[in-house]
Structure 1
Amino acid sequence: MFQAFVLVGLVADSQKVRRLACIAISSLLENTDKTIAVQLVLQHDVYPLLLSCCIDGDEQVAAASSEAIRNLAGYEEGLGIVLPASTSEATHLGNIAEKCSSLGRVRVLALIVRLFSASRSVASEVSRSGILSLLEAEVRNTNDTLVTLSVLELIYELAEVEHSAEFVSKTSLLQLLSSVISNDAADSILRSRAMMIAGRFLSKENAFAFIDESSFRSVLSAIDRRFDFLESQAADECECALEALGQIGSSFQGATIVLTTAPPTARHIVKAAFDRQQHGKQLAALHSLGNIAGENRTGNTVLLNSTAEDTLRSLIYDEASKTSKLTPSGLLLSVLQQDSEIRIAGYRVISGLVARPWCLTEIISKPEIIALVTNTHRETHKIGMENRHRCCEAIYKVFALSSKLMGDPAFADMASKLEEAIRRGPYGARKHAEAQPMVVTADRF
C-alpha cells in the first residue's frame, strides 16, 4: 500500500503531493536496507517518475526529486540506474536533455552537478559517462544569455566541489571559460562569471596535480587581455577579474605563476591595490594581493621562489615610486588610514607581505603603521578586530626571529606595543574591563 500511494503521488496534479512523494522516496532510500530499497525502485519503475518530477515539477518538487535521485545514486546498485551504461537508454540524461525545453535542460544539468557533488566515486562515474559534455555544449551555445548564465552558475557550484579539479581536467571546460572571458561580444556578466569560475577551479591546492600549466596560463592570458578594456569602464567586471586572479594566487603554485607570466599578470593587482579612485576595485585588489602574498598560506608555502619574490618586490616598489608616497611603507600607511573595509584588506596584505625581510624593514621604519595596527580601539567590528590582531601577530613573529632587531633599543618601544596588543587579544579594547556599580535615581511614575 505504501509503495502504491507513493507512485500515485509522483504523478499527482498537486505539486505539494508530488513533493511529498519524492520526500517519501528519499526516506525509503535512507531508512531501508539498500538492497531492498533499490529493488523496490526497480520493481515499481520509480526512477523515470522521479526524472519527470525533476524536469516538469515546480522548484520545490525539482529539488526534492533531485535529492531522491542523489540518494539513489549513493548506492552502487542505484548508481547503475541513474547512470546507465548504454546511451540508448530512455533515461540516459543525455537523451533526456535533448528532448527538454531550455528550463528542462537546466534542470537536468543541475541534477548532474548534484550527482557530481555526492561523492568522489559518483563524480568518477559522472565523468566516465561523458554527461559533463552537456555542460560544455550549453556554454558553447550563445543563443540564450539567460540559459548560459544559469549554466555558468551550475559550473560555479561544480567548482566548489572538493574533487572537481581532478575530473574537470578531463573536459574542455577551462578552455571554454577562457573563450568566454576573451569574447568581446559576450555580455559583461558572462565574462565576469567565467572569470570567477576559472579562479575557483584553479585556486584548489590540488589543481596543479591535475590541470596542466598551459590551462593556467591560458586563463591568465585571457584575464590579462581584458584589463586593456577595463581600465576606465565595466567596474564590476574589473573587480571580478582582480578577485579571480587573487583566487588563483591563493595557492603556492598559483601565486608563482601569476607573478612569473610575461609580463606578470599580478601587475594589475598591485596597481589597483593602491589606487584610491575606485573603492570596489581597490578593495578587490588588496584582498587579492593578500592572497598572493601568502596571508592564507602557512609554513614553507608563504614565500615563493626567487623569481616570483623578486617580481613581487619590484612591482610594489615600482608602484610606490609613481606616487607621492614614494615607499611601500607609505602606501601601506595610506591603506590603513582609509575606511574599515579597506583597512581589513590592508591588514591581510601586511600579514602576508611582512614575511619578507624588505617588507618588515619598511613596516618597522614607519612608527605610524605600528601605532595603527596596535590601536585596539580602532576597529569596532569582529572581523576588523581579528584581522588587526593577526596582523600584529604576523609582524611580531617575523620581528622576533631577528636577534639583531630584538636587541636594538631603537625598536624596544615598538616591540612592547606589539606584545601588549597581542596579549590583549583581538577584542581587548580596554585594559581593565571590570563591572562597575552604578547609582541612579529611581524612575517615578
Structure 2
Amino acid sequence: MAINAPEGTRDLLPDEALFWNQFKQTAAEVFGTYGYLPIDTPIMEQTELFVRGIGEATDVVSKEMFTAISGENLRRWVEEGKAPKAKSRLSLRPEGTAGVVRAVVQHDLVPQGAAPAKLMYAGPMFRAERPQKGRQRQFNQVGVECLGAEEPTIDAEAIIMLMRFYEKVGIPRESMRLLLNSMGCEQCRPAYREQVRAYMDAHAGELCETCLTRAEVNPLRAFDCKNPQCAAVMAEAPKITDHLCDDCREHYGAVKALLDGAGVVYEEDYKLVRGLDYYTRTVFEVQVDNGMGSQNAIGGGGRYDKLAEEVGGRATPGLGFALGFERCVLALEAAGVEFPRAQRCDLFVACVDDTVRARAFALVQECRDAGFVTEMDHQKRSLKSQFKLADKLGAARVAVLGPDELDAGEVTLRDMATHTEAKVRLEEVVGEMSRAIL
C-alpha cells in the first residue's frame, strides 16, 4: 500500500514551489521598502507561549494545536504518571506572531527608547483543523510584526503595505474587500464585553452550544460563529464602535483618516474580531469571495499592545498581520492569473553519438557557469529522442554536437521557436547565447 502525504497536508510541486519562492521574494521587496527585516523563529515553541499569548479559550489553543513530546517523556507519562515539565511540552506553531514577540522579548530587540523593531517572516504553520478548500493542517504564511510603536500611522502603514503586496502579486484590487474595526482596549472593552454577554444571555435559546460556552469565557468570539442563526442574533448585538473610550475612538478615527487620505477603500465591520484573544484596537481582514469557498479571508491582522507583557516582557505596543499563501493562490486562480512554470531550459546539448559525450558534457558546464540553464541527455537516447526531450523541457535552443562538428570545432545551434539553424564555433556558444537572449 502506497504511503501518501498526511491528511490536510499537500506537496508543493515544482511549479507551485517556484511561485512560493517568488511570493516570499515579493514580500521581502515590498515590506523591505517599509523597513521590515527578516526573522526566522522555530516551528516549535513551548505550549505555554500560545496558551498565554493567543488565549486558552480560542479554538486555536483549545482544539487545533499539534502538541509534541519526546518518546521518553511520553513513556514516563503513561507508565509512571510523570507529566512532562513545561519546557518539554512543545507545540507546532499555529501562527507566527507569538513566536516573533517571544523572540523580541527574549533578545531585547526593543530596548527602552529604541526605534520600533520591524520584522517579517515566512514559513509553515500547523493547525489540527478539518481539511477543506482553503484550510489545511499545514499551510504557509507570510507575516510582519512591528513592536514598539503605538501611533495610528503604523496601523495605516501596515494596511497600505498589505494591499500593495496583494496587488503586486497579481490579485485584482476590485476582487478584494478590506474590512476594518476597532476592538477597544483594557479600559473600554471589559464593559462592552459584559454588555455582549448580557445580550447573549437574553438570547440564549437562539444560540448554539459553542456560543453559549463562549458567552462565559469570551463573548466577543460569538461574532465569529458561522451558524446562520447565531450570526442573525449577533447582528443585533451592541456594537463595539458605540462603546469605545475617547482614546480608542480617537485612534480609530485617525487610522481611518490616514487610509482615506491614501485612497484606500475599506468597509467598517463591527463584527470583525479576528480569531485570537491578543488583539486590541485596530483589526483588519482582506477577503476575496470568488473561488474561495467558505474560507474567503486571504489575510489580516491588527494591534496587540498587551502581548509582550503576556509572554513575560515589558509593556511594548505591537501590530502585525499574516497572509496565507495557499488562499492567495486560490484568489489568483479565480482571477485567471497564470503561474510561472518551474521548468525552464535555455540550451539543450544533444550528442549524435558517445564519441562526443565528453566534449558535450564540458560544454554544458561552460554554459551553466555563464548562468544559462543547460541540460543534456543522460540515458543514451537517439538524436530524435533527444530533440523530443529538449522540447519537453521547453529548451529555447539545441546545440547538436557530432563527430563532424567536433572535428570542425563547432556545433549546430538550432532555435526551437523558428527552427532556424546556424554553425557556431564551440568557444563562441556562450557568447552566441548571450547575444540571442539580449
Task: Pick the TM interval, shorter chain.
Answer: under 0.3
Q: With structure 2 as the length reference, what TM-score do the two structures score?
A: 0.20
Structure with a larger share of its residues in strand: 2
Structure with a larger share of its residues in helix: 1
Q: With structure 1 as the length reference, what TM-score do the two structures score?
A: 0.19
